[in-house]
Amino acid sequence: MAAGALAKKRIVRNEGSDESKSEVNGNGNGKNGKGDLAMRILIFIFWFLMVCGGAGAQAAGRAQSGETTMRSGGWEPSAGHAQIQIWPGVAPDAGLQDRVGPERVETSGKDELIAGRRTVGVFNVTRPTMTVYSPAGKNTGVAMIVFPGGGYQDLAIDLEGTEVCDWLTSRGMTCVLLKYRVPNTGPHWVEKCKCQVYPRAPMALEDAQRTVGLVRYRAAEWGTDPHKIGVLGFSAGGHLVAAISTRYARRLYAAVDAADEVSCRPDFAVVLYPGHLRLHDENFGLNPEIRPTRETPPTFVVQDEDDPVDDVENSLVYFEALKKAGVPAEMHIYAQGGHAFGLRKTKFPVTDWPELVEKWLRTIGMIAE
């Protein structure tokens, strides 16, 4: 008989002996019952470690293979920065927001690179926050509130958020990154009906109004000029810039504290490849919820003719309305460059827009020559 077979027979024989002793000692409470329990615990621990290790290896494998990866637990800013809840309690109209799972972070796959790099999106935001990034070097006193895009479905938190703050702070400006509520908290395109749908309550705009008021209210604390507070947004965030630029006279929610008693009108606005500004019909008209007046702040607009997501007519109709209202406005339309490039340099001239914004800020007196 082979040694392996003999060993097998011994194991079977020992198991039978243990079972009989377990019965004599009563349901495993005797000496050998404790041994069985300890063995089961060790087996469970070994199995648990194998499963967790396998899951970790799979996640690492996905990242290395270039697949989209997801992480639960929500977004956190870089070391040295903290998120500030913009609402002291429950956000207004919270009960009207779509029921979603916990906030999560998703990193794009290798087929969705922007200028050769991945992007990070934040989904299911129900607790809006702002993160303040202080200026490096000389402080200009300017504060810029940044609204990332994402179609009111998610937030492009790095491409159109933290990377923008890196640029602004390097130019002596305070950057305030708003993580506003999503999804479906502003006008959004629904493929099923081929139509633009409006939310039951404009929760993203509520968050924007609240944040502009907070930044102005805390200007002295953060070393900013309350008369030099701007807003900058991309795509859906560009729509949010236009909305706060034209709908600041009345808060859309009941005041919660003194910060809601100060103006939430921006002092200037930067709109980049915006969506949701034009009517989706043959009339080529402006979204009726966006109504510029002479009091709308000076505005800078950028978009590409070949934008495949939000067509260039969004910028054209908004610029025309600004001019009719007598608002100082500057628009730059480029032939190529697409959509969602943020500040990442490509071969297209449109990615030089940050330098143009800096020049424009000097012309309107926000930063010194």
Is the pLDDT score of 262 beyond 90?
A: yes
Handedness of CA 253, 258, 259, 264 (dihedral sign): positive
Is the pLDDT score of 353 beyond 80?
A: yes
| Average pLDDT rounded to a whole number, residues 170-174 | 98
| The pLDDT of residue 83 | 97
Q: Report the DSSP beta bridge partners of residue 2.
A: none
Q: Are 131 and 311 in contact (CB under 8 A)?
A: no
Tokens of 353: 């827009």
Is the pLDDT score of 208 beyond 70?
A: yes
Tokens of 357: 């914004």
Q: Are 224 and 314 in contact (CB under 8 A)?
A: no
Q: What's the pLDDT tens digit per position in 268-307?
A: 999 999 999 998 776 789 999 999 999 999 999 999 999 9
Residues 198-222 as b or e (16 or more Cβ within 10 Å = b): ebebbbbbbbbbbbbbbbbbbbeee
Is the pLDDT score of 66 beyond 70?
A: no
Phi, psi (degrees; rounded to nearest 5) at 65: -80, -10
Q: Are 302 and 271 in contact (CB under 8 A)?
A: yes
What number of other Cβ atoms are within 10 A of residue 94's Cβ? Answer: 14
| The pLDDT of residue 320 | 97
Q: What's the pLDDT tens digit per position in 217-255?
A: 999 999 999 999 999 999 999 999 999 999 999 999 999
| Average pLDDT rounded to a whole number, residues 12-22 | 35
SS3 for 137?
coil
Q: What's the pLDDT tens digit per position in 107-143?
A: 999 888 999 999 999 999 999 999 999 999 899 999 9
| Average pLDDT rounded to a whole number, residues 315-331 | 98
Domain with CATH 3.40.50.1820 in the chain: 70-363
Residue 186 to residue 138: CA distance in whole angstroms: 37
Q: Percent of the chain having pLDDT more than 70? A: 80
Q: How confident is the model at residue 190 (pLDDT cuts 50, 70, 90)?
A: confident
Residue 49 to residue 38: CA distance in whole angstroms: 17
Q: What's the pLDDT tens digit per position in 19-64?
A: 333 333 333 334 444 455 555 655 555 554 444 444 444 444 444 4
CATH number of 70-363: 3.40.50.1820
Q: Are 265 and 295 in contact (CB under 8 A)?
A: yes
Contacts of 62 (CB under 8 A, 6+ apart): 68, 69
| Average pLDDT rounded to a whole number, residues 328-353 | 97
Q: Are 132 and 308 in contact (CB under 8 A)?
A: no
14 vs 234: which has the higher pLDDT: 234
Residue 130 to residue 147: CA distance in whole angstroms: 10
| The pLDDT of residue 14 | 35
| The pLDDT of residue 280 | 78
| The pLDDT of residue 76 | 97
| The pLDDT of residue 50 | 47
H or E segment and range at residue 231: strand 229-234
